[in-house]
Amino acid sequence: AQTVTQSQPEMSVQEAETVTLSCTYDTSESDYYLFWYKQPPSRQMILVIRQEAYKQQNATENRFSVNFQKAAKSFSLKISDSQLGDAAMYFCAYRSGLGATNKLIFGTGTLLAVQP
Amino acid sequence: EPEVTQTPSHQVTQMGQEVILRCVPISNHLYFYWYRQILGQKVEFLVSFYNNEISEKSEIFDDQFSVERPDGSNFTLKIRSTKLEDSAMYFCASSEGTMGQPQHFGDGTRLSIL
């Protein structure tokens, strides 16, 4: 069974600085998708970024980028130029690409605080 | 931007009572999901729904749970006889498809069982 591990329960970053959130996963599959979701205090989980395992190029969305290391099964999220609005719980999630299942498997989350 | 909406935001129910949680998925989405998050724990998959039937369910989704799409817009999760351990945040999600299309989540319903 696939598992997702986020080893940092809490992180803190100064406004305008860069922070990296860690995520590792375990799978025997070769085709899968990885996601980072953000959950602000307002509770709605918002998709931040998505990575397809067959793509070697790291995904980027504005200030958010990932470091996808397939061999190491690592999928870290880098937030550049951190803003106060980035403060939230961040969840890493895995989805199989085999088509038999669409469920997301989540990590336990990292609570990010942004200091002014 | 279209959103998944859930009602109510908070539901308080006596143990043993039935509860229905409601969701309106994004209108052109075909796949629907329920997840739950017990306080302090991971978000866990409950069930997925496509073409008016359950396509997958987890071990958590036992006989006390059911889902329904009663009309063209709503997607509901019913818990027949609530237990204390059903207290959690319940999230509805929807997606256009399954080939990497992301799931979009609602705000969640906090269910408190007394």
Distance from CA of B63 to the nearest CA of A (A): 20
CA distance A88 to A75: 18
The whole-number mean pLDDT for each consecutive block of 10 residues of chain B, a chain of 114 residues, reads 90 96 94 93 94 93 94 92 96 88 93 96
> CA nearest B106 in A: which residue?
A44
Encoded tokens for B42: 């991971």
Q: Which of A44, A46, A103 sits opposite B45 (nearest CB)?
A: A103
Q: CA–CA distance from B7 to each of A9, A25, B53, B74 (Å)? A: 30, 33, 22, 11
Distance from CA of B43 to the nearest CA of A (A): 6
Encoded tokens for A84: 């106060």
Average pLDDT for chain A: 94
CB contact under 8 A, B43 and A91: yes
- Asked whether residue A113 carries a pLDDT value surpassing 90, the answer given is yes
pLDDT of residue A6: 97
Encoded tokens for B44: 């866990």
pLDDT in tens, A64-98: 999 999 999 999 999 999 999 999 999 999 999 88
Q: Which residues of A touch B55 (CB under 8 A)?
A: 102
CB contact under 8 A, B104 and A47: yes
Name the helix (H) or strand (E) containing A92. Answer: strand A88-96
Q: Which residues of A touch B23 (CB under 8 A)?
A: none
CB contact under 8 A, B43 and A104: yes
Amino acid at A101: T
Mean pLDDT along residues A36-60 = 90
Q: Which residues of B touch A99 (CB under 8 A)?
A: 98-99
Q: CA–CA distance from A63 to each of A36, A78, A85, A97 (Å)? A: 13, 8, 12, 27
Q: CA–CA distance from B25 to each of B30, B76, B94, B107 (Å)? A: 9, 10, 6, 12
